[in-house]
Amino acid sequence: MNQRKTYGKNRNLRLSDLLTIGVAVLLLTIGGVYHAVVKNQQIRVSRDIVSTQSMIDEHNEARKFVEIKIENRLNRHVLRNELREQGTDLCLIPIQAVEIVEPLSPDTSAIVGNRP
């Protein structure tokens, strides 16, 4: 019984206790550093995703503007006005002069490379 009373008062840390605490501190430190590295990678990836998405949006907008410019250039009324301003010799043709051409038949003899 006397041993129990004196054990609580004069107890020192043993070498095994210090090693256990050291290993625990080391593991917690490694875990914290690993967590920070992984979190930084996640942040970098999310920033890359955002920048890539913004680039895609910019390209889509540029594509739409190009399509609008093409549509404006191919507008027949605008073309007529531009031709008139340039003083070209082109003129309107009657609708009867337009000939509808049917596509070639799937016959292989119609291909130029297969002449006899």
**What are the start-end ranges of the H helices in the chain?**
2-9, 15-73, 76-86
Across the range 19-29, mean pLDDT stands at: 96
Structure tokens at 110: 């119609």
* Per-residue pLDDT reduced to its tens digit, 95-114: 888 888 888 776 655 555 54
The two structure tokens encoding residue 101: 């051409």
Query: Per residue in 73-98, pLDDT tens?
Result: 888 888 888 888 888 887 778 888 88
Domain boundaries, the chain: 14-75
